[in-house]
Structure 1
Amino acid sequence: MARQQDEVVFETRDLKINALRDDGTELPIVKGVDFKVRRGEVVALIGESGSGKTTISLSSLGYCKPGLKFAGGEALLLGNNVTEMSTEDLRPYRGEKVAYLAQSAAATFNPSLRINEQVTEAPILHGTKTREEANSKALELYHALELPDPENIGDRFPHQVSGGQLQRLMAAMALCGEPDLLVLDEPTTALDVTTQIEVLKAFKQVIKEEGAAAIYVTHDLSVVAQIADHIVVLYNGEVKEAGPVDTIIHSSKHPYTQRLMAAIKPLPEAGQGEETKDANAKSPALQVRGIDAGYGKGSDGEPAAMILRDVSVSIDRGKTVGIIGESGCGKSTLARVFAGLLPPVRGDIFLDGDKMNGDLGSRPRQQLQKIQFVYQMADTALNPRQRIRDILGRPLEFYLGLTGKKKEQRLKQLLDMVELPYAFAGRYPHELSGGQKQRVNLARALAAEPEVVLCDEVTSALDTIVGANVIELLKSLRAETGVSFVFISHDLSTVASFADEIVVLYAGRVAEQGLTDKVLSAPNHPYTKLLMSSVPEARVGWLEETIGTKESSAGIGGGVTMTDTGCPFFNRCPLAIPGTCDVTSPPKRMPSEKHVIECHREISELT
């Protein structure tokens, strides 16, 4: 049957979903939700964690998570109520009529199977395409999604492509069966800003070309403004506001939508970055000089994969240094070097001015205490079998020797510091929200009374409002305790709102570093300009405008390539000098005090 542009592909009518309690009672989770998705349009479901976005989107597959049940209303896919169907009845719909794109492409693909085999599996199993037809459709999608080497990329294994490429390949897998409805659940949340633009552009183009309808689940209004046609604002399982994207973004009426908009962090103007005042600042709290580090061991004794090359960074007392860059640039590797989890091949590490062993196992307890790590995923960082009291109590005993009443007293103070009630001490991690777990993660680091806290993508998995609250908490803790922070992120807006200084990494090298307001103002390294131009704005049409700019059109989609010779940004740089940039390492240039740019171009050419 021919696809009609205005056809309603999916619709919920008074949809209700309940959670099943242990005592047999039920708790309403989704409370009478109504919305429609027409062919060729993208409807975004937005709201903070726990608002019901994913639960509602999964109703399109006739699926409820364990512990939930459909309690009323309808979820109509092509006019058929999928909430009343058995698993067997749903089989012809899932994968053929509706397809789901998860947040993590890496977790979606089977690492032991080649990509094309997985992309073409659904239509072949459903019998809607022969293998030859499925392969032809897959190749068509590889071209449409602007994947590199489309003729051969399907022969690779998942680990042989980048995160952004794998995310687009997951879209190809969903679209290969030519479904009527796509459900995209936070598909760009884990991607860096330049890769995110690349993926959004490809998604938007292919959805229109395929004539599919799409539900886009996200907490990021800046992303919504680029891809959605309509927005449904959810809070606590209810629709608070709905309408065309332009109306919701620019003239929302409901206070909750306005709160979501207010939580968006625009890139600060030059001179507006955060800066703490510390009259007692002496030698750096933590410093690395000339660090080379990598993974594996080659035949020459050097790392098989050298990630960091000649990296020098200094973190002053009571200050925050933000480390930014795309996926694969070496941000987390640098954090592992700081923490002693990855001993460097060359270079020195200093704590309070004293040289420190690069291997964690060789550091004395006093040095271990002074550097603490807060990981991105609190879910995996917190022991699920221990109560919060035990999780926070361990560093109090190990580093400070506290027991009994003194330990309990300090435990209460720590929970107060991260703005959690003392009653949470008796809970397990799974009984807390994502933002609450991240606060516990932070409290555990602070329990050791460290001098430096390493924060690795601590807000990237959190929704806009919760992430903004965590940043405000970090600011208050910095002022209260005088602790230094290393804040690692691919989100330049978040880093700029919190950091005193910024280090821009590219392919394991420092492209630019300096005070936040200096890095955010001209002159800039061409790569820094690309990152700045790639921060999404909550404005309709921004994506199309950005793709057309000189910086973005040259730099987006290039990917990070490690190299021993020349400038690693050469192949993506709009200012590259052939015969120089690809051959000779760039010199360090200082446009002002505490501002260093590594580039062959003169300062006047970078302004």
Structure 2
Amino acid sequence: MSEPVLLVEGLHVTYRTRRDDVPAVRGVDLRIDAGEVVAVVGESGSGKSTLAHAVIGLLPRGGSITGGRVLLGGQDVAGWSEKQLQRVRGRSVGLVPQDPTVSLNPVKRIGEQIAEVLRQHGLADRRTAAAQAVQILARSGIPDPELRARQYPHELSGGMRQRVLIGIAFACSPRLVIADEPTSALDVTVQRTVLDHLAEVTAEHGTSVLFITHDLGVAAERADRIVVMQHGLVVEEGPTARVLDAPTHAYTRQLLEAAPSLHGARLAPRRPAVAPSGPAGDVLRLEHVTKEFRVGRAPFRALDDVTLALPRGSTLGVVGESGSGKSTLARIALRLVEPTSGTVRIDGEDVTHTRGARLRALRRRVQLVYQNPYASLDPRLSVERIITEPLHAFGIGDRAERTRRALELLDQVALPRTVADRGAAELSGGQRQRVAIARALALRPELLVLDEPVSALDVSVQRQILQLLVDLQAELGLSYLVISHDLAVVRQISDTVAVLHRGLLVEHGPTADLFDHPQAEHTRALLDAIPGARVV
């Protein structure tokens, strides 16, 4: 058997904190052969990213390898100095980091950042590096590479920035590339394009790939072997088909059950349904809504003559890529912006131009749950104060009544009452999103607008939050407007789905009909881009 490109033996990684030493990777073994794609999957805190960073000596402050070996091309690099590792990074091992927004230097042109890698490893001089950088951009499938090389990162789309990072990772033709959640920040169609490009480049160069991901759908499509990590341990490992078809560990089965792209069934409520309050009909209706923004001298039409209805007690999922108009639609439904033309109705009442006291009263009936639970909760406030903030704003109840309401809401979102005195920073991402949902429910609204409510969470936590939303809807008779780029998520909780593309409503109908018999070409493209859809 030939020598592996990467061999990890008995690896231990520990983080030193003020209170204690925390083991993050515990005795992990890993082998990657030439040309092989190995996906390491697991939730946040499983140790998968720590494993990847340990391989190339990029552990954060406080982290260190406390045992085991990391062999790259037969050399143990576990004890190497920073200077020694700099010779390996980029030349022998490339890295495609997670977020292209923060991984590129915002004050350096794209071409300069690629050229810097070539010069550092002696593969080009100052004169030839610029030309080679343009060639790398061209091979990365970026249009107008000469122009893009002169631009700054903020002038490129997220998909283009990620292609630049892939170009940098492969610039020196390394034998191994580590792809650390390389598409988690991208829309599904852009994700598919980037992953296809990554596969083409690795096949062309015969490069081995260590793929770090929390998405089993991505791993199912892209990996030869899957390694499952939990609490710093490898709990299962094997060929992709075997792990997917016959998992042996309970945690692997849990991840597979939670992966929205691998399961199409709608979640069923675990709480008894109640009849919707008030008269039957549409809780929200948008009629011929158009929204234009002024961009320079020319208007930009973000929404173009959109008509949609949300029946009381049901869920409408609005899906589309970045720039499709879905977030603009949500802001119009919330009355945060006014449409250029068209009508917004809540319970049949025209609220398009409502202002003052009437608008403030409307805020009690329509509430918002934001995308990122890490950014939407005030870190200075206790959980109780966060949940009761809307009650303070509307002058509802005295201190004791507000406390009772906060505890009731914690019960409803399945959080222990003991978290009421804790700060948001002390909670996990899933717990924070439960607090955000509790805050949105404080005023007993009729309609919740959920803006990408689970996109920042691991798949198993996503599943828990989605199940919670389905249960709350059954218990309280809520109506949901769900904004998402992820059709796999929308499928699990929506009664009807609307597909937006460049401001146009291209398809709208019952969830099962849209998924089983899509009519619009763009809908079919979105469905085909769902990670794992082709292996289910």
TM-score after normalising by structure 1: 0.81
Cα displacement (A) at 1:454:
1.2
Matched, 1:452 2:450: no
Cα displacement (A) at 1:14:
1.3
Q: Does the Cα contact within 8 Å between 2:518 and 2:524 map onto a contact in 1?
A: no
> Are residues 312 and 278 of structure 1, via their aligned partners in 2, closer, same or farther at CA, if it must alter by over 3 Å?
farther
Q: Report the residue type matching 1:499 in the other structure.
A: S
CA distance in 2, matches of 1:360, 1:167: 43
Q: Residue in 1 aligned with 2:165?
A: 170
Cα displacement (A) at 1:140:
4.2
Q: Does the Cα contact within 8 Å between 1:455 and 1:485 map onto a contact in 2?
A: yes
Tell me the matched-pair count: 532
Q: Does the Cα contact within 8 Å between 1:102 and 1:184 map onto a contact in 2?
A: yes
Matched, 1:8 2:9: no
CA distance in 2, matches of 1:111, 1:362: 44
Q: Residue in 2 aligned with 1:236?
A: 231
CA distance in 1, matches of 2:356, 2:379: 26
Q: Report the residue type matching 1:262 in the other structure.
A: E
Q: Report the residue type matching 1:175 in the other structure.
A: F
Question: Per-residue CA shift, 1:285-307, capped at 9, x if unaligned?
Answer: 222222222444554xxx74321
Q: Residue in 2 aligned with 1:77?
A: 72
Question: Per-residue CA shift, 1:47-77, capped at 9, x if unaligned?
Answer: 1121111111111121222343332222333
Matched, 1:100 2:87: no
Question: Per-residue CA shift, 1:136-174, capped at 9, x if unaligned?
Answer: 544444344333334543333333333222211211122
Question: Per-residue CA shift, 1:189-241, capped at 9, x if unaligned?
Answer: 22222222211111011112223322111111111122112211001110001
Q: Does the Cα contact within 8 Å between 1:365 and 1:399 map onto a contact in 2?
A: no
Q: Does the Cα contact within 8 Å between 1:184 and 1:217 map onto a contact in 2?
A: yes
Q: Report the residue type matching 1:283 in the other structure.
A: G
Question: Per-residue CA shift, 1:417-438, capped at 9, x if unaligned?
Answer: 1111112222222222222222
Q: Residue in 2 aligned with 1:293?
A: 291
> Mapping of 1:4-153 within 5 angstroms?
6-23=2-19, 25-131=20-126, 133-153=128-148
- Among 458, 464, 477, the alignment partner of 2:459 is 464
Q: Report the residue type matching 1:19 in the other structure.
A: Y
SS at match of 1:380: coil
Matched, 1:477 2:475: no
Q: Report the residue type matching 1:288 in the other structure.
A: L
CA distance in 1, matches of 2:229, 2:263: 29
Cα displacement (A) at 1:523:
6.0
> Are residues 127 and 427 of structure 1, via their aligned partners in 2, closer, same or farther at CA, if it must alter by over 3 Å?
farther
> Are residues 414 and 67 of structure 1, via their aligned partners in 2, closer, same or farther at CA, if it must alter by over 3 Å?
farther
Matched, 1:332 2:330: no
SS at match of 1:120: helix
> Are residues 448 and 400 of structure 1, via their aligned partners in 2, closer, same or farther at CA, if it must alter by over 3 Å?
farther
Question: Per-residue CA shift, 1:417-473, capped at 9, x if unaligned?
Answer: 111111222222222222222212222211232221111111122222111111111
Q: Which runs of 5+ in 1 are unaligned?
A: 543-607
> Are residues 296 and 284 of structure 1, via their aligned partners in 2, closer, same or farther at CA, if it must alter by over 3 Å?
same
Q: Residue in 2 aligned with 1:593?
A: none
Higher relative contact order, structure no. (Cα contacts within 8 Å, ≥ 6 residues apart):
2
CA distance in 1, matches of 2:262, 2:236: 27
Matched, 1:382 2:361: no
Q: Report the residue type matching 1:20 in the other structure.
A: R
CA distance in 2, matches of 1:45, 1:51: 10
**Mean Cα displacement is larger for which, 161-170 or 461-470?**
161-170
> Are residues 286 and 19 of structure 1, via their aligned partners in 2, closer, same or farther at CA, if it must alter by over 3 Å?
same
**Mean Cα displacement is larger for which, 183-192 or 355-364?**
355-364
CA distance in 2, matches of 1:308, 1:89: 54
Cα displacement (A) at 1:364:
3.3
Matched, 1:283 2:281: yes
> Mapping of 1:424-573 within 5 angstroms?
424-522=419-517, 524-537=519-532
Q: Residue in 2 aligned with 1:597?
A: none
Q: Does the Cα contact within 8 Å between 1:267 and 1:496 map onto a contact in 2?
A: no
Q: Report the residue type matching 1:142 in the other structure.
A: L
**Mean Cα displacement is larger for which, 280-289 or 326-335?**
280-289
CA distance in 2, matches of 1:333, 1:197: 25
Q: Does the Cα contact within 8 Å between 1:342 and 1:358 map onto a contact in 2?
A: no
Q: Does the Cα contact within 8 Å between 2:9 and 2:27 map onto a contact in 1?
A: yes
Q: Does the Cα contact within 8 Å between 1:123 and 1:129 map onto a contact in 2?
A: yes
Q: Residue in 2 aligned with 1:557?
A: none
Q: Residue in 1 aligned with 2:259?
A: 264
SS at match of 1:72: strand
> Are residues 505 and 176 of structure 1, via their aligned partners in 2, closer, same or farther at CA, if it must alter by over 3 Å?
same
SS at match of 1:381: coil
**Mean Cα displacement is larger for which, 42-51 or 510-519?**
510-519
CA distance in 2, matches of 1:339, 1:279: 21
CA distance in 2, matches of 1:45, 1:359: 52
Matched, 1:254 2:276: no
Cα displacement (A) at 1:400:
5.6
Q: Does the Cα contact within 8 Å between 2:226 and 2:237 map onto a contact in 1?
A: yes
Percentage identity across aligned positions?
Answer: 37
Q: Does the Cα contact within 8 Å between 2:382 and 2:424 map onto a contact in 1?
A: yes
Question: Per-residue CA shift, 1:488-545, capped at 9, x if unaligned?
Answer: 11111211111111111010110111222332343612222222233232666x8xxx
> Are residues 52 and 295 of structure 1, via their aligned partners in 2, closer, same or farther at CA, if it must alter by over 3 Å?
farther
